[in-house]
Structure 1
Amino acid sequence: MPLNTLLDALFPRGHAVAVNDAVLTGSASTDEGQVTVIGTADKLEVGVDHALTLAAAVLASTAADPRRPIVMLVDTAGQRLARRDELLGINGYFAHLAQTLDLARRRGATLVTLVYGESVSGGFLSFGLMADHIHALPDAQVRVMDLRAMARVTKQPLEKLQALSQSSPVFAPGVENYVAMGAVHTVWEHDLAQALLEALRTPADGDRRAVLGAQRGGRTLAASVAAAVVAGDA
């Protein structure tokens, strides 16, 4: 869905969202009041400058109105793999962005993410995946690490991981698999403005992704193992 069409569908009451270097910043009106809008466009590879811009928008929002919701719109091909960004310590910039979102949450802001394009790797982990609730459009592409990269990291044959991906959502990309794992709460298909309102009105209840994954059959052990660790049984 084109970005302008998406913004009009999400915010029929009006919006003032600027796009600079494929980074979205601005605000919009909803039936729940004003919200801050941040995000990425055009499959942006997020670099240090982009991370700083997004973090600055979050800090400005929580300074102006700590309880104002923040809506994050995601279309990113991951982190920028450039020498300059790596030498500057891109992980630190991403950590800073994640910390600003944690600050906004602790100060009372609801954080909602909608993946409308791609969501890959560090470009997604550092801001979109930080939300209280994460949603996606049906044709969005969600993956944290593709199987080729996973094979290099885990030292497992690519063919083995490809076979596992046929039966386990943990190894497979795609919205439906991330819904099964609990990482994506719901898929928005019809009235996007109403879906956003429902998300804004849903109270945050901690990180329930492992519980949802167990309920949906996509991650069968994560919740029980975590509970055992907390209880001191593991």
Structure 2
Amino acid sequence: MDWHQLATQLFPEGQDIVEHEHFLSGSAQVEGKTVDVIGTTGHVPIGIEIALSQARAILRTVQEHPGRPILILVDTVGQRLRHRDEMLGINSYMAHLGKCVDLARRKGHTVVGLVYDQALSGGFITSGLIASSCYALPQATIRVMGLPAMARITKVPEERLTELARDNPVFAPGPENYLRMGGLHGIWQGEQEGSLAAELSRALADSPVEDVRMALGRERGGRQLAQPVAEAVRTGSHVRPA
């Protein structure tokens, strides 16, 4: 979905979002309250410039508008794979962005992520996936790593990974599988007029304070051991087989 069309559906009360070199920023009205919006478009890979732009926008909200909700619109093919970005330490820039999102959450800002097109790799992990809650549209493409790339790295044949992906959401792309794993809090259908605006309003009102992704993954059958293992590490206890 084009971001202009998306913004029209999300913010019927008005918005002033602008695009600059695939970086989105601005504010919008949701039920009479202001929400700051940042994001990306055009399937752009996240290089150091966009990572810094997003981080700067989040810090500006934290400094100038304490407690104001933040919506992150996600459309990216992941971090930019260029020698220049690697030499400049793209990993540090991505980590900085993630820390800024975490800071906003700790300072009382509700941060909601929405994958409206593509969400791949580190560009998703340090934005929408680290938000207070994250949602997606049904047609969104979500994956941390494609099966061909996973096969090359793990040395597991792609045919075997494809077979595993049929039953195990950890190996499979798509919003439905990330919903099962707890990475997404929900999928917004947006089929009826005004439905996306209503979904956003509910998400802003109901966004959890604590990170409940592991609990959601266990409840939905997508990640059975993540929560028990984390709890065992925290308490020094043993994990009991399911």
Range class of TM-score, shorter chain: over 0.9
The equivalent of 2:136 in structure 1 is 136
CA contact (8 A) 2:69 2:109 kept: yes
Alignment of 1:59-208 (within 5 A): 59-190=59-190, 191-208=195-212
The equivalent of 1:220 in structure 2 is 224
Residue 233 of structure 2 is aligned to residue 233 of structure 1: no
RMSD: 1.1
CA contact (8 A) 1:25 1:39 kept: yes
CA contact (8 A) 2:14 2:29 kept: yes
The equivalent of 1:50 in structure 2 is 50
Q: Distance in 1 between matches of 2:128 and 2:181?
A: 16
Change (3 A) 1:32 1:199: farther
CA contact (8 A) 2:133 2:207 kept: no
Q: Distance in 2 between matches of 1:153 and 1:207?
A: 30
Deviation at 1:203, TM superposition (A): 4.0
How much identity, in percent, do the aligned residues show?
48
The equivalent of 2:2 in structure 1 is 2
Provide, for residues 45-91 of structure 1, a one-character-per-residue CA deviation record: whole Å limited to 9, x for no partner: 11001101111111111111120011000010111111111110000
Deviation at 1:27, TM superposition (A): 0.6
Deviation at 1:213, TM superposition (A): 0.9
Greater percentage in strand: 1
The alignment's TM-score, normalised by the length of structure 2, stands at 0.93
The alignment's TM-score, normalised by the length of structure 1, stands at 0.97
Provide, for residues 152-187 of structure 1, a one-character-per-residue CA deviation record: whole Å limited to 9, x for no partner: 332322222111111101100011111111111101
CA contact (8 A) 1:32 1:200 kept: no
Q: Distance in 1 between matches of 2:176 and 2:124?
A: 17
Residue 206 of structure 2 is aligned to residue 209 of structure 1: no
Q: Distance in 2 between matches of 1:117 and 1:204?
A: 24
Which residue identity lines up with residue 200 of structure 1 in the other structure? L
Which residue identity lines up with residue 14 of structure 1 in the other structure? G
Deviation at 1:151, TM superposition (A): 2.0
CA contact (8 A) 1:32 1:197 kept: no
